[in-house]
Amino acid sequence: MFGFKLGKDFLIGTGNSAFQSEGAWDRDGKSENIMEHYAKAYAGKYAAGYVPGTVDITRRMKPYSEDLPDRGCFFYDNYESYIEDMAKTGQNTYRFSLSWCRIIPTGVGEVNPKGIAFYNKVIDKLLEHHITPFVDLYHWDLPQCLMEQGGFLNPEFPAWFETYARVCFGAFGDRVKLWSTFNESDIAATSGYGTNRFPPFREGNREGQLAGHHVIIAHFRAVRVYKSMGLGGKIGAVNCFTSITPARMKEEDLGAAERQTNRRFDWWTQPMLEGTYPQRLLRECAYVRDNMPENYQEDLDKWFVPMDFLGVNYYICNRTQYDPSKPLLASYVENFYSSPDQQFAPYPPGLLDVLIYIKERYHNIEVYITENGCAMPNIHDPEAECDDPERITYLREHLRMCVRALRAGCNLKGYYYWNDADSYEELDGYRLRFGLTWVDNKTGERRWKKSRYYFSEICKTHMVD
Ligand code: NOJ
């Protein structure tokens, strides 16, 4: 008989990030980060990269929200009751990120004791409730003062990051045993510095690739420091993976899907695990090859160190076809599973595809689904928003895929629903909501959605219906 069971040791919980959840953006010595800075600069306007009339099926550009990430879901002030809710849910893990601006407000230099104290309280409270912390060093919130010195483009960036990482490992590494360096480098570097669609809104192929290269070197330097400190935990990175399929039954479309996958996912995962960039892209795409940073392979050879596990954020699928006019010789086309206005159309089978790809391509590396979440519009109606059968179906279908992946032999160790509570969504502010807990982002009032009660049953039984 076929039942959907997760092993006893399977980590299952929720996640959130610092700038999206904490609020208190200017309190206790914290400085401004780029997400706060650009939210103010573009409030209510189209973001810099928007070209009116563009049909962009990967991100349908709309005006930047007028909301600012200055409140999030009020986690900074209410972390204790949030963690008590996690304990009541029965989850055995929580993924969150540290704010570089809270810990070292000047980016590099003096450590802020109040920042360290806050995260110590969060970690201790989680452990008191037997909730394993999974900690990201960086979730998009670069200190604005470092941005003013070029951000990822500054050749010193890897050294800045290493210094920050060392402080974090030193302060929390005795209790935190699961670390990740960067969240979704593809968005932060390529969309941020290459295609002008994400803070800090820069454009240029060469810049995008240089920013990404510095991120990869910074990742290695943090992993090296971590390993040298002998703290006994594991360290990885969180990369996003959309399941990308060929539009037609043609070899040329299959090639297009492979190139897109190489670009979005393997571009980050392959160097982090094997110390090289995907050769196919370098061979087939002049746009990639001609914009590589100087001496990139020497840098990789010098700093490479494999990470222990891979974190994967999975939300959507894409269809693609061969298109010689495009830099990757591929362009996205409408897919079967979303309507034109749907930014996050769920496609549960894609999660299985992604996990099987990782198993086959990366020697069955240990993997965590670090994000997977159901987006719904904010309709300012708590009754209606808490009655969320779509999110229940979403959870059931994706977690069933996790069980199928386990049965197929994938080395899947955990699943984090995104996100714990309705928070600030980059570019969309408080108008798009993923949470299992409903939050009034003006007052901080909150309630469990039906999906949280459902998720709680899964966490407590380690079974999926
Ligand atoms: C991935 C990002 O890591 C997270 O910050 C964001 O909220 C979700 N995607 C949903 O867009």
- Report the pLDDT averaged over residues 213-233: 98
User: Could you tell me how many residues make up the chain?
Assistant: 465
Task: Indicate the pLDDT class of residue 341, thresholds 50, 70 and 90.
Answer: low
Q: Whose CA is nearest to atom 6 of ligand 1?
A: 425
Name beta bridge partners: 10.
none
Residues 48-93 pLDDT 10s: 666 555 544 444 456 788 899 999 999 999 999 999 999 999 999 9
Name beta bridge partners: 14.
94, 417
Q: Is 36 a catalytic residue?
A: no
Average pLDDT of the chain is: 94
- Report the pLDDT averaged over residues 339-354: 86
Out of 371, 385, 425, 426, which one is annotated catalytic? Answer: 371
Question: 208 by DSSP, 3-state: which?
Answer: helix
pLDDT at 340: 59
- Cα of 313 to ligand 1 centre, how many Å? 8
Report how far apart, in Å, the C-alpha atoms of 166 and of each of 107, 112, 225 are. Answer: 13, 14, 7
pLDDT over 60 (residue 294): yes
Cβ atoms 151, 138 nearer than 8 A: no
pLDDT at 61: 59
Q: How far apart are CA 182 and CA 192, in angstroms?
A: 14
Indicate the pTM of the whole model: 0.97
Q: How far apart are CA 451 and CA 416, in angstroms?
A: 14
Express as a percent the part of the chain with pLDDT over 90.
88
54 C-beta neighbours (distance < 10 Å), count: 10
Q: Is 371 a catalytic residue?
A: yes
Q: How far apart are CA 423 and CA 73, in angstroms?
A: 5
Q: What is the DSSP secondary structure assignment for residue 66, as one 8-state letter?
A: S
pLDDT over 80 (residue 343): no
Task: Indicate the pLDDT class of residue 46, thresholds 50, 70 and 90.
Answer: confident
Least confident span in 124-128, 335-339, 416-420: 335-339
pLDDT over 60 (residue 1): no
Residues 149-165 pLDDT 10s: 999 999 999 999 999 99
Cβ atoms 119, 98 nearer than 8 A: yes
Residues 6+ apart with CB under 8 A from 382: 438, 440, 447
Residues 159-203 pLDDT 10s: 999 999 999 999 999 999 999 999 999 999 999 999 888 999 998
Q: Whose CA is nearest to atom 7 of ligand 1?
A: 425
- Cα of 136 to ligand 1 centre, how many Å? 13
- Domain residue ranges in the chain: 4-464
- Report the pLDDT averaged over residues 20-26: 98
Q: How far apart are CA 356 and CA 351, in angstroms?
A: 9
Pick the CATH number of 4-464 from 3.20.20.80, 3.40.50.620, 1.10.10.60, 2.120.10.30: 3.20.20.80
Out of 36, 184, 258, 426, which one is annotated catalytic? Answer: 184
pLDDT at 262: 98
Q: Whose CA is nearest to atom 11 of ligand 1?
A: 425
